Structure 1
């Protein structure tokens, strides 16, 4: 240990602490470590130093604080140095093309960490190696980073954000040259490069010199303008004004959640929509998220109460809500009863998919250059509703499912675009929507503007809820029920999934669940798929995450999986009816029984270590 620092009595832990104090130049994190050692907080130290954050396809995400398992100045530098080395190996022209770096508003007073400072350190690493950096000067929505990568032809992009995670967390998301999140083998390559040399380069700490370097540029103004012009291409009324003369005659007001006012106004202006009303307490970035327990609009009504109150006051019938980094979108509508209906991610996916296809058909009928319907594609993650598949079967376009996460949909969309196909839409049930191929990731900014145009279009004839019912009447009801259990014990998670894989003996999956016969099993952790002749799954598999899908004799589908960013075991269920089948209540009752059976049979044995989703 360095002079003046006591030992913990654990040789391995002392060695890790000694190296940390040698490398770390942040006085706050160094002081926190010394204080923990002095106080004998061995268990807390082990949590900070036991294992380095694992860099995967989701990048990094962890609490801010000292140690190799936390987000801090030193781990940001070490991660960026590894990324830089890996990019140097992959791109001979890295020093000509460069990278882009964006950040959100998160900060952590105790450790001196903030997204803005982490972004500046990452920029210093690249500038120190002679790599041009486009560093945003202000908080930006996550979609601006992949847009910049594609628009400027850069080698990579970094977004420092923990999105909707609790306020103490932060994250480090990486985009490849194709504008999509990294997928294997790049995650492994970057992770190995990080471990090769953990000693910080001297210039990596020098943010002052980097800020004065001609290699550092602020892309905000140009990217903001180009992004807004790009999403206008998906604005229907600019192309077909005579068919939608009513669109802007309606007085419509929307409230938004954690969304930067200038971006909100610009996005709605691009679609000639009235600027929405903003919730005063939530309109500006605040790293403490003082108005909600969790800054996650996916949680529904509980985080939208201020939005509902403002909408009631202003006479608005629709609420749109973004998460803190504006990559996801939620929507709610006031019902005739006076209650607010929060649309699920699957319901909003059905609405946006329907709307974007209507827009495509309208442009096609107007004689504008466009692909034929057989070259049109929509994508969804495998745990999302299959409503797009039902629409595709009837309308003639293609639907594909991918693994969970927009990294898979973004990369698949890029492949299709490179083949000359038209990718209209992609979504995941966790309120993530790609409404424009200009951003190969979920994008709450363009989704909010496009949803606003859809609401305006519908306002003279239907409510949004009525339109959703019309979609289900035409293409078949798709009833979903999704939830999760919170679990902090990895051993509990392992036991739960291993029990399912050895349900009635070694290598045997369950054949029924509380009287519901199971007709198919797909395990994307092990690569097993009972529906394939060779029993090998077609979709990519990953041993680092748990994911099993069960198909039932009644047509129900249920997937159990672990979250890549949160301590959750999630389950997703769906039952579908044929078009014209109006017995929705029976369908819902059947799904409720199935979900109860799954919770009782698959989760109950580990119930003591699981916390159900809060109501």
Structure 2
């Protein structure tokens, strides 16, 4: 038994913690199991998307005390940051087990600290929380969610005044304040007069903003021609997306009934993640039955979406996040320029591990493509840092997209509407969503990406991930599938190395544990430990040219072979 971990666990046997918690801790100590180590070996940390972890007792678990401590530290920081104001906070939660109860705990702690709370009366999508922060003129926002993680997880995302998630310097300053606190300092004594419950009024304001940004009036006559299958995957999107589609004018919308009801156990899927093809199987089956044009599925907190559309032969095919992103971005840019709105200040946003095709697309429209680290908080920061520029849209490979800046996080509500509008316009022109993607490949080059995630759980897993990254830095690749490595971008050291000359330049993007290799043939391999899950991720991007639609099949085969070769050499 590790004495340090035992001491941390025994501290939870004090009167600061309730009797139920103390009993659970006593069981862990008595069993002296690996669960004791996992529960107490560290404090749960803020990552890419906030704080996420397994629910249970302990410092490395999501529970009323770890979230209470977060909220107390955040309360102190808000009162310090806004000394002459009464801080206001909006709180939302998703369908996960215990989310509603934990959201109430968070609301109680804020109210106990004389902070005004707007708490959604029932579960709502994460992008609506981002919208509500600005709509209600709040200083901060919280959403209780673990996104697409397994059922045993929950989480705590923090948003700032602009509606974007925490970024430097607020994140480190708040974490420092939280770490200074003892659990006994948390004030759980709610002042109910400071808590206001919100629902329909904010819902409708969000719906109207989504319609304004994601629908196009010239398509009004054509929406009856489109058939949609939608699944919320037991999540929050069922509270908003059907209403958005109906108010936009879509009448032929079929919801997967077996997955309509919110349920934190996600009984019909192994993983409620639209990135996983299996998650959309029931929707795909229903689409065949209804002869639907498009399938859309969203994750539990409704910030990611997966899409399937019909290919040239009428077969439903799943698109990945990169493919969806470039079609959406091209549509928005084309519409913007068609209506003569451009004034030279426009930009789009993406991330360093997403498809390079976004940069190529931006260049073709003569607009800027800003790149950031993984996570939409960095795209939100781009908007905040450049108030004189106009953000059109942007996304990342992990099935997220943001239309305009009225929401400052990935938004599957408006992106769902936008996908249907793109399909509607294409169909009215005798084309298709899929054909639009093919046209982009012919016009700008065929870019194909692959993602491999290696799950490494627990203490040993974290150490294995750490060693993998050290090895990639200390023993860097020199070639891959016969292509020479010509550039290595190390975001941990903020240096970009030109291999041929040995010269390096500074990377302006904030430091992060990401390593990116570039080859002389335009291929790219990135390695990145996940900030919210026990995984290390490898992102591969390759590209080639296709002179015509007829060349696309052979081009894709060449790209698939390149990806297979890279995966083999990396041992993935």
Q: Which is worse superposed, 191-200 or 11-20? A: 11-20
1:468-479 counterparts in 2 under 5 A?
468-479=437-448
Say yes or no: does 1:320 pair with 2:311.
Answer: no
Alignment of 1:215 onto 2:194: yes
Residues 538 and 70 (structure 1), Cα distance of their counterparts in 2 relative to 1, 3 Å cut: same
Does the aligned pair in 1 maintain the 2:308–2:319 contact within 8 Å?
yes
TM-score normalised by the chain length of structure 1: 0.86
Q: How does 1:227-246 map to 2 (within 5 A)?
A: 227-238=206-217, 241=218, 244=219, 246=221
**Alignment partner of 1:67 out of 58, 67, 71:** 58
Contact 1:479–1:576 (CA<8 Å) still a contact in 2?
yes
- Answer yes or no: is 1:330 the counterpart of 2:306: yes
Q: What TM-score do the two structures reach when normalised by structure 2?
A: 0.93
Q: Secondary structure at the match of 1:214?
A: helix
Using the TM superposition, give the Cα deviation of residue 502 of structure 1 relative to its aligned residue in structure 2, in angstroms: 2.0
The answer to whether the Cα contact below 8 Å between 2:88 and 2:115 also exists between their aligned partners in 1 is: yes
Structure 2, unmatched stretches of 5+, are none
5 Å-filtered alignment, 1:183-262, equals: 183-201=167-185, 203-204=187-188, 206=189, 209-210=190-191, 213-238=192-217, 241=218, 244=219, 246-258=221-233, 259-262=236-239
Distance 1:375 1:578, change over 3 A: farther
Q: Is the 8 A contact 1:255 1:279 kept in 2?
A: yes
**Structure 1 residue 25: Cα displacement:** 4.1
Aligned partner of 1:91 in structure 2 is 82
Q: Which of residues 279, 286, 305 in structure 2 aligns to 1:310?
A: 286
Measured in 2, the distance between the counterparts of 1:11 and 1:476 equals 59
Match of 2:271 in 1: 294
C-alpha offsets along residues 389-446 of structure 1, whole Å, 9 cap, x if unaligned? 2222122222121111111111112223x22x22110100000000131001100011
CA distance in 1, matches of 2:441, 2:2: 62
Q: How many residues align?
A: 562
Change in 2 beyond 3 A, CA 1:225/1:200: farther
Alpha-carbon distance change, 15 to 331 in structure 1, aligned in 2, over 3 angstroms: same
| Aligned ranges 1:454-603 → 2 under 5 Å | 454-460=422-428, 461-488=430-457, 489-503=461-475, 509-531=476-498, 534-542=504-512, 545=513, 547-578=514-545, 580=547, 583-585=551-553, 587-602=555-570
The unaligned stretches of length 5 or more in structure 1 are: 1-8, 108-113, 365-369, 504-508, 605-611
Matched, 1:101 2:91: yes
Distance 2:555 2:174 in 1: 47
Q: Is the 8 A contact 1:54 1:60 kept in 2?
A: yes
Structure 1 Cα separation of the partners of residues 559 and 240 of structure 2: 40
Q: How does 1:413-492 map to 2 (within 5 A)?
A: 413-416=383-386, 418-419=387-388, 421-460=389-428, 461-488=430-457, 489-492=461-464
Report if the CA contact (8 A) 2:214-2:403 is conserved: no
Q: Aligned partners of 1:275 and 1:221: how far apart in 2?
A: 24
Displacement of 1:26: 4.2
Whether 1:118 aligns to 2:95 is: no
**Quick check: 142-151 or 582-591, which moved more?**
582-591
- SS of the equivalent of 2:258 reads coil
Inter-partner Cα distance in structure 2 for 1:409 and 1:395? 20
Distance 1:392 1:152 in 2: 34
Q: Which moved more, 1:141-150 or 1:14-23?
A: 14-23
TM-superposed CA distance for 1:340, in Å, is 2.4
* Residues 14-53 of structure 1 aligned to structure 2 (within 5 Å): 14-22=6-14, 25-38=17-30, 40-53=31-44
- Report the 3-state secondary structure (helix = DSSP H, G, I; strand = E; otherwise coil) of the residue aligned with 1:430: coil
Equivalent of residue 388 in structure 1, options 331, 352, 358: 358
| More displaced 10-residue stretch of structure 1: 60-69 or 453-462 | 453-462
Equivalent residues of 2:95, 2:263 under 8 A apart: yes
Per the TM alignment, residue 197 of structure 1 is displaced from its structure 2 partner at its CA by 1.8
What is the alpha-carbon root mean square deviation over aligned residues?
2.2
CA change 1:355–1:533 in 2 (3 A) is same
Structure 1 Cα separation of the partners of residues 242 and 553 of structure 2: 41
